[in-house]
């Protein structure tokens, strides 16, 4: 009984909408239509919307296991947009509205809307390009830099002793990619949402390698012979568990009372600071031991 009442209500609403639409199109817009054609257009719209929603839901569920949940949701939105556009064209055809006229009117309307929504639409299309090209994936640790890919010379002394240049950008883990924004959890544990039209033109450093080069510089007093110090340091540093292979150590520069060595070591992981910290601690301890031995030898000779 309840189903029968619901069916009558739906039928009444459809007929009412059809009659109202027919009156508006005929009397106001002067478009010759019949109630039958309007009902056909409504049925096309209802069946089309239901079908598009079912298809997009299936794609979201099936594609989510292959390309990821976020990408599947974005693809679902694109399919809905295309599907609804086709439904509108079919509905207009059913009420005998010339598709060419509708497209011309839609073009003018689209130009106005496009100019008003230039930045949001740029984000949407950039998001689609990011999803299709996939320069990075969710979970990747990346460094993002733009305009346009310049480098900075370090002026903070401790930073100078690690790198000869700095990349002006943000580093973090990709958490989400949708049609408007890409979400990054930075190394400082801050969530950053970047518009996709910036992401599409940025330089992206993807840090998903198993190991990376870590460069460490250190000043050593000139009274310690580098030909003696470097083999000792290489032996001690090679004992660190995160090293992939034996490090390279060479003299890089000199000052009035010291010389500067550089240790190039390939270390497991995506971060530079933890292995560099351990390497510096090993260097400090080794230099201290060498100096102690030298002092003891000097005292023994006296």
Domains belonging to the chain, first-starting first, are: 2-116 (no CATH), 136-206 (2.30.30), 211-301 (3.30.70.100)
Mean pLDDT of the chain: 75
Per residue in 257-272, pLDDT tens?
889 899 999 988 878 8
pLDDT interval class at 159 (50, 70, 90): very low
Report field, pTM of the whole predicted structure over 0.85: no
Place of tokens 């090209």: 133
Residue 141 — left, alpha, or beta (φ > 0 → left; ψ -120 to 50 → alpha)? beta
pLDDT interval class at 70 (50, 70, 90): low
The pLDDT assigned to 16 comes to 58
Sequence-separated (6 or more) residues with CB below 8 Å from residue 110: none
The average pLDDT across 130-139 equals 78
Per residue in 4-22, pLDDT tens?
555 555 555 555 555 555 5
The pLDDT assigned to 286 comes to 92
Residue 100 — left, alpha, or beta (φ > 0 → left; ψ -120 to 50 → alpha)? alpha
Q: How far from 33 is each of 46, 100, 190, 207, CA to CA, in Å? A: 19, 17, 58, 62
The average pLDDT across 142-156 equals 66
From the number of C-beta atoms within 10 Å of its C-beta (0-12, 13-18, 19+), residue 211 rates as middle
Compute the radius of gyration of the chain from its Cα atoms. Answer: 34
Of 252 and 93, the structure prediction assigns the larger pLDDT to: 252
The pLDDT assigned to 103 comes to 57
The average pLDDT across 99-121 equals 57
């Amino acid at each position: 009984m309840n189903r029968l009442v619901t069916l009558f209500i739906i039928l009444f609403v459809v007929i009412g909408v059809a009659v109202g639409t027919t009156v508006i199109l005929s009397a106001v817009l002067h478009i010759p239509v019949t109630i039958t054609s309007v009902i056909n257009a409504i049925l096309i719209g209802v069946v089309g919307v239901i079908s598009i929603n079912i298809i997009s839901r299936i794609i979201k569920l099936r594609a989510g296991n292959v390309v990821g949940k976020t990408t599947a949701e974005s693809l679902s939105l694109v399919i809905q947009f295309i599907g609804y556009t086709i439904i509108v064209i079919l509905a207009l055809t059913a009420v005998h509205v010339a598709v060419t006229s509708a497209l011309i009117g839609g073009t003018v309307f689209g130009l106005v809307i496009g100019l008003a929504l230039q930045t949001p639409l740029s984000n949407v299309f950039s998001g689609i390009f990011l999803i299709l090209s996939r320069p990075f994936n969710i979970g990747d640790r990346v460094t993002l830099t733009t305009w346009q890919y310049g480098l900075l010379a370090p002026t903070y002394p401790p930073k100078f002793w690690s790198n000869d240049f700095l990349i002006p950008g943000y580093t973090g883990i990709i958490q989400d990619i949708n049609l408007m924004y890409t979400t990054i959890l930075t190394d400082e544990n801050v969530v950053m949402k970047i518009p996709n039209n910036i992401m599409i033109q940025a330089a992206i450093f993807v840090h998903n390698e198993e190991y990376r080069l870590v460069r460490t510089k250190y000043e050593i007093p000139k009274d310690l012979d580098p030909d003696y110090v470097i083999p000792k340091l290489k032996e001690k540093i090679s004992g660190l568990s995160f090293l992939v292979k034996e490090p390279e150590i060479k003299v890089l520069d000199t000052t009035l009372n010291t010389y500067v060595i550089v240790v190039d070591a390939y270390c497991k992981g995506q971060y530079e600071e933890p292995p560099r910290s351990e390497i510096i601690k090993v260097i400090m301890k080794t230099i201290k031991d060498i100096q102690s031995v030298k002092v003891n030898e000097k005292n023994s000779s006296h």
